Amino acid sequence: MTPQEEVENLIARVAMGDRAAFNRLYDRTSAKLFGVCLRVLNDRVEAEEVLQDVFVTVWNKADSYKVNGYSPMTWLITITRNRAVDRRRAMKLPPVPIETADLMPDSKPGPEASAVAASEARQIKACLDELPRARAHLVRRAYLEGDSYADLAQATGVNLNTIRTWLRRSLMALRECLSR
Amino acid sequence: MSDQTLPPDGPEEDEDRVLAAEYALGLLTDEERARFEERLDTDAALRAEVVAWDEHFAAVILDDVAEVPPSPQLAKRLQTILFKPEKQSFWQQIWPYGLGGLAAALVLWLSISTGILVPEDSRLKPDLVAELAPTPDGEGLVIRATVDTTLAAVEVVRAAGTPPDGRVFELWLIAGDAAPVSLGLLEDGSSTLIDLPQDLLAVLPGALLAISDEPPGGSPTGAPTGAVRAAGPLTSS
C-alpha cells in the first residue's frame, strides 16, 4: 500500500466511526498538519487549537471526503491551511515585512530552484521557478503563510492594487506553465 | 516570462482560472467569495479548477513545510472531546440501573431479612429503600437512600466515594416517564437528610433515585447536567 492509499484507507475507516483508524491517522499526519498551522500562525498555542479543531472536523466530516475529488493529503492540508488562515485573519496578525529590494523584478531563477525536489510531482515548483523571484515570493507568502492582498501590501509598502495585479499575473503565468 | 507577454485582461477562461486560484488562496473579498461560491454550486469545471489549484498548493506545502509534532496533550484532549461517552443522554445512562435495581433490592431484602446486613440506626423509620448502584462514571461509590413516607423525608448515606473536585452530588427522582426532579444536594458528610415534597410521596414506590455531579450550588438548569454517578429504584423495605 502506498502512503497515499494508506491515508485514504484510514479516512474511509474514520468515516465509519473507527476510532483506532482515527488514532493512526492522527499519528500519521498530525506533525505535518501542525507544521502547516505553525507556518501560518507562528504560535504553538494558537496552532494547537486550530489543529484540534481540524481533527474534530476530520472525525465528523470524513464521510464527505470521497465526494469532493481531493487526494487524501490535499484534503487534510487544505482544511488545515484554511482554518489556520481564518484564525490568523481573525487575530489580525501583522504580516512579516518583505524587503522592497527583494521585489525588484529580475529574471534570475529564484531560491526555489535549489529546493526543487527530485520528484516528479513537483511540477508547480518548476513553474514557480519560471516566475521572477520576487513574484514567486509573493505567491509563496500567500499560500504558505496565508497573507492576504492587504497583508502583502502592508508587508511591502506597495499599493494594494499593484500587489493584486502582480499576484494575479503570476497566478495566470503559473497556470499556463502548469497546463503545458 | 515577463509581464508584457500577458494581456492585461485575459479571456474569460483565464479570468476564471485566476479567480479559482485566488479563491483557493483565500484572497477574494467576502463579496467576491460569495459570488464565486454561488457559481461553484453549478459549475463542475470551476470546481475542478479549484481542486487542481488546491492539489498544486498542497504539493508544495507537503514538500516545504517541516513536520513538527504537536504536544502529547493534544492527542489526549481529542480522545476526551471525541470519545468520552458523556454525550449519552441521561436516560441512556440510567436505564440499566432501573432493571438491575430489582435484583439489587432482592439481594438487599435477603441480606436484611437474614440478618447479614442490619439497617443503620436512623432517625427515620424507612418504608422505602434504594441501593444506588454506581455507573461506570461512579466507580467506588456506595450510596443508599431510605425514605420515611410518614415523615416525608429521605436520608442518603454515602458510605464510600466523593464527588470530583469542584463538583457536588445532586439527588434526582425519576418517576415513570416524568422528567427528573431535583430533591437536593448531598452534604459533605456521609449522611444527608432531605425533606420530600408531599406531592411526590405517591409516586415514590418503584421510582428511580439517581445521583449526578453538578457545579457547586447544583444544576443551573433544573435538569441533570453532569454525569450520572449512581442510580437505583425505590422499593419497599
Fold classification of A100-178 is Arc Repressor Mutant, subunit A (1.10.10)
Beta-carbon separation of B26 and A124 below 8 A: no
What is the per-residue pLDDT for A173?
A: 93
Q: Is residue B12 part of a domain?
A: yes
Alpha helices (H) along chain A: 3-15, 19-41, 44-61, 72-91, 112-115, 123-130, 133-144, 149-156, 160-178
Residue to test with chain B: of A65, A77, A83, A130, most B Cβ within 10 A: A77
Q: Are residues B39 and B92 in the same domain?
A: no
B137 in the same domain as B52: no
More confident residue, B126 or A21: A21
In a domain, B78, yes or no: no
Distance between CA atoms of B147 and A94, rounded to whole angstroms?
Answer: 66
Residue B57 grid coordinates: 498548493
Q: Is the pTM of this model over 0.80?
A: no
Distance CA(B59)–CA(A86), nearest Å, equals: 21
Cell of B182: 431535583
Instruction: Give the three-class secondary structure for B12.
Output: helix
Do residue B56 and residue B94 come from a single domain?
no
Q: How many domains does chain B have?
A: 2
Interface of B with A (CB under 8 A): 1-3, 6, 10, 14, 17-18, 21-22, 25-27, 47-48, 51-52, 54-71, 74-75, 77-78, 81-83
Residue B94 pLDDT exceeds 50 = yes
In whole angstroms, what is the distance from residue B233 CA to residue B105 CA? 8
- pLDDT at residue A121 above 90? no
Cβ–Cβ below 8 Å for B74 and A22:
no
> Is A24 in CB contact (< 8 Å) with chain B?
no
Work out whether strand B153-160 and strand B208-214 pair parallel, antiparallel, or are unpaired.
Answer: unpaired
B206 is a domain residue: yes
Asked if A3-91 and A100-178 have one fold, the answer is no
The partner residue sitting opposite B10, judged by closest CB among A70, A130, A172, is A172
Restricting to A residues 135-174, those with a Cβ less than 8 Å away from any Cβ of B are 140, 142-144, 146, 148-149, 167-169, 171-174
| Contact (CB<8Å) B65/A130 | no
Closest CA to B137 of B79, B98, B84: B84
Mean pLDDT of B142-165: 87
What does the pLDDT read at residue B58?
92
Residue B116 covered by a domain: yes
Interface contact flag, B68 A31, Cβ < 8 Å: yes
CA distances from B90 to B31, B94, B96, B178, B225 (A): 45, 6, 12, 13, 9
A81 contact B CB<8A: yes
If asked whether residues B101 and B14 sit together in one domain, one would say no
CATH topology for A3-91 is Rna Polymerase Sigma Factor; Chain: A (1.10.1740)
Q: Is the domain of B96 the same as that of B211?
A: yes
pLDDT confidence bin for A116, thresholds 50/70/90: very low
- Residue B9: C-alpha distances to residues A51, A110, A161, B18, B165 (Å): 39, 26, 15, 11, 66
Tell me the three cell numbers of residue A48.
494547537
Are B93 and B206 in the same domain? yes
Task: Compare B120 and A63 and report the one with higher pLDDT.
Answer: A63
The percentage of residues in chain A with a pLDDT greater than 70, rounded to a whole number, is 87
Q: pLDDT digits over B1-44, tens only?
A: 444 444 444 577 788 999 999 999 999 999 999 999 999 999 99
Pair type for strands B208-214 and B128-134: unpaired
pLDDT at B138 over 50: yes
**Residue B196 CA: distances (Å) to CA of A44, B124, B127, B132, B138:** 53, 13, 14, 18, 25
Mark whether B53 and B141 lie in a shared domain. Answer: no
- Under an 8 A CB cutoff, do B82 and A30 touch? no
Is the domain of B56 the same as that of B97? Answer: no
CB B14 within 8 A of CB A154: no
**What would the pLDDT profile of B185-199 be if each residue is shown by its tens digit?**
998 878 888 888 888
Do residue B52 and residue B90 come from a single domain?
A: no
Mutation for A interface: B47, B55, B73, B76, most A CBs within 10 A:
B55
Nearest CA in chain B to A105: B2
Q: Length of chain A, please?
A: 180
pLDDT at position B111: 67
**What ipTM was assigned to the predicted interfaces of this complex?**
0.88
With an 8 Å Cβ cutoff, are B68 and A69 in contact?
Answer: no
Q: Which range marks the domain in which residue B13 is found? A: 3-64
User: B157 with B223, same domain?
Assistant: yes
Question: Based on the domain organization, do B172 and B202 belong to the same domain?
Answer: yes
- Mean pLDDT along residues A82-93: 92
B8 DSSP 8-state letter: S
Boundaries of every domain in chain A:
3-91, 100-178
Same domain, B109 and B161: yes
B228 belongs to a structural domain: yes
